[in-house]
Homo-oligomer: A and B are copies of this chain.
Amino acid sequence: MDHVTFVPTPDQLAYTFGGAEPVMRIVPRTVLTLWTEDAYGGRITSRDDVATTALNTEDLNPQTGPFWIEGAKPGDTLAVHLVDLTPARTWGASTLIPFFGGLTSIPVSPTLQDPLPERTYLYDYDAGTHTLGFTAHASDFSVRLPANPMLGTVGVAPARREVRTSLVPDYFGGNMDTPEMAAGTTCFLRVNVDGALFSLGDGHYRQGEGESCGTAVEGAMHVTAIVDLIKGGGPAWPRLENDTHLMCIGSGRPLEEAWRAGQVEMITWLGELYGLDRLDAYQLLTQISQTPIANVVDTNYSAVTKIDKRLLPAAVAYGGVHNELRSAAGSLGAVNY
């Protein structure tokens, strides 16, 4: 397998899905060793850096990429296997941004209330214990939490000539902000334009489901991934597979629409894997679905429909590419950045 290392300079960062020139052309089955800047563009470095003064709100969620995948055509399936995610700094930051988040009014659903106060929380990251330190602002409380590295954004260019900011999650992936996007997971995305134009970014050292305040423990990340291409079979919505679960992620508004999209996608997938008709799959899913919310804070909300593989007979998705990439990842040896 080809092995490519790419650490973008600040002016190589992209801020959109679609619309940006590819940074590189790669062939399927390439191993990528990448570095991603944090969602703030690295502008939050202390508890005193608050959103209003520190952020450039036009340039959030910088993307590493996009990569042109040789041979990728609309309708194909891009498989992105996350081999390893390692925090690239000794701290991450979460910040309350005015009129942004799940428990405040927001510009697209405004009220006349004042914004919440701004606050920035710095979490030190201890690589030895793989933990993060939370310290409260207004009371004497601190706690160490296990790190749980994940990527907020994994996406490809959209269809219909569109260009979307890297803040958007949708059928093309993007800013889904789910803790499921962790090492060991393969993400399947439909290719919408020639070359797919795949990118990733928005590393989180840890995030709860829902991403309540709108920002996780955001931090620069070392990323190792293997990118593969399957001809045809592009799913309507992103699908994920890891060793234990199958998942589909819908995004939209209101939140029940995101849930519906993920559910119907899973019903389609169950049909492909087990030959179930749609009503039988609907019934079965009713009894086995897990549905963690991904985010309720982005321009679209995202919800995961998830199935524990142990509940069902063994089945091979996408020709077994997850297992193959998992294996290939194992043979890479220790990842050093």
Complex contact A119–B211 (CB within 8 A): no
Interface string of A235-277 (1 = CB under 8 A from B): 0100000000000000011111101110110010000001111
Instruction: Check: A12 CB closer than 8 A to any chain B CB.
Output: no
Out of B115, B134, B146, B254, which one reaches A254, CB within 8 Å? B254
Interface residues on A, range: 35 or more
Instruction: Check: A331 CB closer than 8 A to any chain B CB.
Output: no
- Given the known inter-chain contacts A276-B139, A277-B138, please indicate yes or no for A110 contacting B261, CB distance below 8 A: yes
Complex contact A283–B113 (CB within 8 A): no
Contact partners of A290 in chain B: CB under 8 A: 208-209, 292
Complex contact A296–B208 (CB within 8 A): no
Contact partners of A280 in chain B: CB under 8 A: 136-139, 141
Which of A159, A261, A290, A291 gathers the greatest number of chain B CB atoms within 10 Å? A291
Complex CA–CA separation, A159 to B252 (angstroms) = 21
Complex contact B145–A287 (CB within 8 A): yes
A3 to chain B, nearest CB (A): 31
Instruction: Check: A311 CB closer than 8 A to any chain B CB.
Output: yes
Complex contact B256–A296 (CB within 8 A): yes
Complex contact B212–A263 (CB within 8 A): yes
Contact partners of A199 in chain B: CB under 8 A: none
Complex contact A287–B134 (CB within 8 A): yes
Q: Pick the interface stretch among A25-33, A38-46, A160-168, A221-229.
A: A160-168
The 6 lowest CB-CB distance pairs between A and B, nearest first, are: A254-B254, A208-B289, A163-B163, A255-B255, A138-B277, A109-B257
Contact partners of A288 in chain B: CB under 8 A: 145, 208
Instruction: Check: A121 CB closer than 8 A to any chain B CB.
Output: yes
Complex contact B116–A287 (CB within 8 A): no
Contact partners of A263 in chain B: CB under 8 A: 102-103, 210, 212
- Given the known inter-chain contacts A110-B261, A111-B260, please indicate yes or no for A212 contacting B275, CB distance below 8 A: no
- Given the known inter-chain contacts A16-B161, A161-B16, A287-B216, please indicate yes or no for A103 contacting B312, CB distance below 8 A: no
Complex contact A286–B165 (CB within 8 A): no
Contact partners of A145 in chain B: CB under 8 A: 287-288, 311
